[in-house]
Amino acid sequence: MAPPRRRKSLMRMATKGLSYFLLCGVALLVILPFYWMFLTSILPISEVYSTSVTWLPRRIDLSAYVSAFSSEALPFARLFLNSVVVSTSVTILQVITSSMAAYSLARLRYPGRDTLFLVYLSTLMIPVQVTMIPTFLVLRWLGWIDTYAGLILPAAFSPFGVFLLRQYFLTLPYELEDAARIDGASFLQIYWSIIMPLSGPAITALVIFTFLAQWNEFLWPLIVTNKIERFTLSIGLQYFRGLEFAQWPELMAISLVSMLPVLIVFLVQQRRFVQGIALTGLTGR
């Protein structure tokens, strides 16, 4: 019979091995649909519609990518540029507006601050569909339908972003601000030179959340755009499916390309993203 210490060591190794096995199984289940998309985009058309399953391509055919991005019916290069412009602009504006509001609600002291925060936070409970029609009417009155302003500005303010950054700002030591004020720094100088550089993880988390949400946004661009020149990729994919029914290689090629910006942003910033999520909300002040 094995000694108790050795028995515990064996149990620990068996538990760890089982955990790794289960995690690998879950990872394969997650990766499988993306691998199938990739296969569909590079297989010859005869193998795509074949009844037999092909896991390893015998021949790579990139004509789906060429055909999809040279389509005269739908300019996917322009749609890709629209998505980049809209997602990047909304992300930058949300970081600016959310960080300023969060700095005021977390670091400045004035009457009614906490009440104002609760009122602003309560707007998260209002469904987007409730405010969509009034927002559309305002944009139509301003003449911003089918414009970048109509796509960008309604999403430039985020109660979630304010909440996320406020909770992180509360974890920063107040002694840094006191020392800066003694040196004669203003509120804006403290915000820009002290608070923002120390809040990299939380800002990274907000950037990834915002960019991902805007890149995949479908309903609002569908409502506020009518011209193909203002479509984003999410609208273009649905429109392409209606134009070219059952052209799955081209559809999968476009879908894979549309995933690349989000994947790159997350892979580059994943460490700071996880750190920002882990540290946000550790304080209840």
Report the C-alpha gap between 208 and 206 in whole angstroms: 5
What's the pLDDT score for residue 73? Answer: 67
Compute the Cα dihedral for 227, 228, 230, 234 and give only its sign: positive
Q: What is the mean pLDDT of residues 38-44?
A: 84
| DSSP string for 177-237 | HHHHHHTT--HHHHIIIIIHHHTHHHHHHHHHHHHHHHHT--HHHHHH--SGGG--HHHHH
- Which of these, 152, 159, 135, 124, lies nearest to 214 by C-alpha position? 152
pLDDT over 80 at 281, yes or no: no
Q: Write down the CATH number for the domain with range 66-279.
A: 1.10.3720.10
What's the pLDDT score for residue 16? Answer: 85
DSSP H/E element including 48: helix 45-48
Burial class (CB in 10 A: 0-12, 13-18, 19+), 216: middle
* 45: amino acid identity, one letter: I
- Which of these, 171, 174, 163, lies nearest to 282 by C-alpha position? 171
What are the structural domain ranges in the chain?
Answer: 4-61, 66-279
Report the C-alpha gap between 209 and 205 in whole angstroms: 6
Mean pLDDT over the full length of the chain: 84
Report the C-alpha gap between 278 and 285 in whole angstroms: 17
What's the pLDDT score for residue 273? Answer: 61
- Which of these, 238, 216, 236, lies nearest to 228 by C-alpha position? 236
Task: Report how far apart, in Å, the C-alpha atoms of 272 and of each of 99, 121, 198, 278 are.
Answer: 17, 25, 12, 10
Report the C-alpha gap between 6 and 11 in whole angstroms: 9
- Which of these, 219, 205, 215, lies nearest to 259 by C-alpha position? 215
DSSP H/E element including 172: none
Length of the chain counted residue by residue: 285
Report the C-alpha gap between 136 and 132 in whole angstroms: 6
pLDDT over 50 at 285, yes or no: no
Over residues 137-194, the pLDDT tens digits come to 999 999 999 999 999 999 999 899 999 899 889 888 888 888 888 888 888 888 898 8
CA triple 259-262-263, angle to 5 deg: 80
pTM of this prediction? Answer: 0.81
Report the C-alpha gap between 204 and 202 in whole angstroms: 5
pLDDT over 90 at 95, yes or no: yes
